[in-house]
Amino acid sequence: MRSPWPPLVFLLLGIAGGVAIFLSYTSDAAHWATSQNAEVWAPTYQVAPPSAGLVTSWDTRSPGSYVATGARLGAVQGQTGETALRAPHSGTLVSAFGYRGALVQSGQELALLAELGRPYVIAYVGESDAGKLAPGQQVDVTFASNPGKTVQGSVARVYPAVAEITWPLPAIATSSSFSKQVQWVPVRIDFPQGAAVPRYLGMSATVRIAIGGGGS
């Protein structure tokens, strides 16, 4: 039996569908700057000796423990005497590298504390969208730990230099015939108090920043 739909009709429907998809994509690109290169961060505080020496004592508390401001984490014996190593700010102990008997250098990180109750996201946005970004713009963020849920935040800061200058990223692989690299602008995204943001430093996220009158 012959099809009641001529081949031309299917062709036209296919063309119409392709045009609709294209228009939807271009409209989305005009209203949103997107990036899959984003991660969770928080205010961090380094514990480091002011001078080189020998670690004479070290607190054995485990990462994940709460540390109060001024808590003694260890001590270093240097040329001018023993110096106590104290927490510069309260927070969660994220990492600890010190141990009794270690020889350390001035400024060497022995522990890292973080205020995990104040998480934010650093997203790297392509340079072509950098000029469209401004503090206060709405951001939809999806975290790797919960891909089906979107958390709303806002742009807090657009850094005035690309990531390669602000803090180095791994080099982007390019072919031998094309040496120009895409540059990425770091953007800080803050969230309202109590937002469902994972408290894990470095966790991956995807962001959509409303630009050009976009947003939902």
* Tens-digit pLDDT profile for residues 165-187: 555 444 444 444 545 577 889 99
- 15 in any annotated domain: no
Number of domain units in the chain:
2
pLDDT given for residue 165 in this prediction: 58
Q: Are residues 69 and 110 in the same domain?
A: yes
Q: For residue 200, what are the domain limits?
A: 30-42+118-210
Percent of the chain with pLDDT over 90: 64
* Mean pLDDT confidence for 59-63: 92
Q: Which of 114, 132, 148 is the C-terminal boundary of a domain?
A: 114
- Using pLDDT thresholds of 50, 70 and 90, give the confidence band for residue 5: low
In eight-state DSSP terms, residue 200 is -
Q: Are residues 131 and 202 in the same domain?
A: yes
* Mean pLDDT confidence for 152-168: 81
Residue 136 has pLDDT above 90, yes or no: yes
CA distances from 62 to 26, 117, 118, 123 (A): 50, 19, 21, 30
- 206 in any annotated domain: yes
pLDDT given for residue 108 in this prediction: 96
- 164 in any annotated domain: yes
Query: Could you tell me which residue, 77 or 24, shows the higher pLDDT?
Result: 77
Q: Are residues 99 and 142 in the same domain?
A: no
Q: Which of 75, 95, 114 is the C-terminal boundary of a domain?
A: 114
Residue 27 has pLDDT above 50, yes or no: no
Q: Which of 76, 97, 114 is the C-terminal boundary of a domain?
A: 114
Q: Are residues 106 and 154 in the same domain?
A: no
Q: Are residues 122 and 201 in the same domain?
A: yes
- 182 in any annotated domain: yes
Q: Nearest Cα to 134, choosing from 185, 86, 84?
A: 185
Q: Are residues 131 and 149 in the same domain?
A: yes
Query: Could you tell me which residue, 173 or 41, shows the higher pLDDT?
Result: 41
Q: Are residues 202 and 151 in the same domain?
A: yes
100-132 pLDDT, tens digit per residue, is: 999 999 999 999 999 999 999 999 999 888 889
Percent of the chain with pLDDT over 70: 76
Q: What 3 state SS string does 113-178 have?
A: EECCCCCEEEEEEEHHHHCCCCCCCEEEEEECCEEEEEEEEEEEEECCCCHHHHCCCCCCCCCCCC
Look up the CATH number of the domain holding residue 129: 2.40.30.170
Helix (H/G/I), strand (E/B), else coil: 71: coil
Alpha-carbon span 158 to 166, nearest angstrom: 11
Non-local (6+) Cβ contacts of 13 within 8 A are: none
Q: Are residues 203 and 137 in the same domain?
A: yes
- Using pLDDT thresholds of 50, 70 and 90, give the confidence band for residue 148: confident
Taking all residues of the chain, what is their mean pLDDT, rounded to a whole number? 83
